[in-house]
Amino acid sequence: MYYNKVEICGVNTSKLKVLKEPEKRALLERVKQGDRQAREELISGNLRLVLSVIQRFTNRDENMDDLFQVGCIGLMKAIDNFDISQNVRLSTYAVPMIIGEIRRYLRDNNAVRVSRSMRDTAYHAMQTRERLSAEHQREPTVEEIAAEMNLRKEDVVLALESIVDPVSLYEPVYSDGSDTIYVMDQIGDRHNDDNWLDEILFRQSIQDLSPREKRILRLRFLVGKTQMEVAREIGISQAQVSRLEKGAIRRIKNPR
């Protein structure tokens, strides 16, 4: 299921049973009567639903087994709280419950500690966004979310930003097949005058570089500009700046 993973939490996903809607309805009626065996069958018959939901979170550095277990908790809550008198499918009701349970888990296990009130505001903002998206069939604006919650736009933005996972400086943001641009390549340093290029200049190692390469290294490591800023100043793309920069550094480190 995940990168061809067949087993998750000891469960062989290739052998999971898929229940039909009439079977789910019959089991739900038995569950409401206190039938524990029917509850287990209903949980087992909806594990594929949990798997499909946690695929939305595969871009995170989270253990999929952990997310699967948390998703199962959301599924069990959905089964226990489902109202069989409503003309709604269990999956329609369960998916938001599973997503909510996973998001609470990720929120509470975020590497950056955020106050409970801030996390609660962010959680309610995400719920509001999902509801407005379903109602209007489009992504709502921050202003619309804030108005619905009776909060200032700034408070909603701050709350949502507070639960965003930290990004590694080595996370790729673009690749054209021959070169990759990382987050660190988009960050300038205008305050660090004690960098390794001073040593390179002292050793006169850049004398064999082309004028363009020298200019790029000077702007990048002495002036402290980002690759995007250098690209605009020189009149080429950021990918070209990245390629020229890395090629020049490679030649400096490994002179012929």
What integer best gives the mean pLDDT of the chain? 77
Q: Which of 238, 244, 248, 113 has the alpha carbon at shortest distance from 187?
A: 238
CB atoms within 10 A of CB 256: 4
The confidence band for 13, taking pLDDT boundaries of 50, 70 and 90, is: low
**pLDDT at site 4:** 43
pLDDT at 204 over 70: no
CATH code, domain with 26: 1.20.120.1810
In DSSP terms, 12 is beta-bridged to 7
Domain membership of residue 74 as a residue range: 1-109
The owner of tokens 């006169």 is: 204
Higher pLDDT pick, 239 / 115: 239
136 and 196 co-located in one domain: no
User: For residue 89, how far is the Cα from the chain centroid?
Assistant: 28
The confidence band for 61, taking pLDDT boundaries of 50, 70 and 90, is: low
**pLDDT at site 2:** 43
191 and 102 co-located in one domain: no
12 and 104 co-located in one domain: yes
Where a domain ends, among 109, 126, 151? 109
97 and 59 co-located in one domain: yes
- Looking at the chain, how many residues does it have? 256
pLDDT at 202 over 50: no
Where a domain ends, among 61, 87, 109? 109
136 and 186 co-located in one domain: no
Q: Which of 79, 93, 74, 69 has the alpha carbon at shortest distance from 35?
A: 79
Where a domain ends, among 62, 79, 109? 109
194 and 229 co-located in one domain: yes
User: For residue 190, how far is the Cα from the chain centroid?
Assistant: 30
161 and 178 co-located in one domain: no
**pLDDT at site 37:** 92
**pLDDT at site 147:** 93
CATH code, domain with 124: 1.10.10.10
**pLDDT at site 150:** 92
Angle, vertex CA 46, rays to CA 42 and CA 49, nearest 5: 160
Token pair recorded at residue 240:
């070209």
Per mean pLDDT, which range of 33-37, 179-183, 225-229 is the poorest? Answer: 179-183
pLDDT at 34 over 60: yes
Q: What's the average model confidence in pLDDT over 57-72?
A: 79
79 and 129 co-located in one domain: no
Q: How many C-alpha atoms does 67 have within 13 Å on its Cβ side?
A: 23
**pLDDT at site 64:** 79
1 and 98 co-located in one domain: yes
**pLDDT at site 250:** 83
**pLDDT at site 58:** 73
Higher pLDDT pick, 2 / 213: 213
Q: What's the average model confidence in pLDDT over 104-128?
A: 75
CB atoms within 10 A of CB 45: 18
Max CA separation in the chain (angstroms): 84
pLDDT at 194 over 60: no
98 and 3 co-located in one domain: yes
DSSP structural state of residue 174:
E
For residue range 237-247, list pLDDT tens digits in order. 888 888 898 88
For residue range 86-112, list pLDDT tens digits in order. 888 888 888 888 888 888 887 776 655
185 and 157 co-located in one domain: no
pLDDT at 197 over 60: no
Q: What's the average model confidence in pLDDT over 60-66?
A: 74
pLDDT at 168 over 80: no
Cα(190)–Cα(157) distance, integer angstroms: 28
The owner of tokens 């079977």 is: 23
Percentage, residues of the chain above pLDDT 90: 4
132 and 204 co-located in one domain: no
How many independent structural domains does the chain possess?
3
| 3-class DSSP assignment, residue 219 | helix
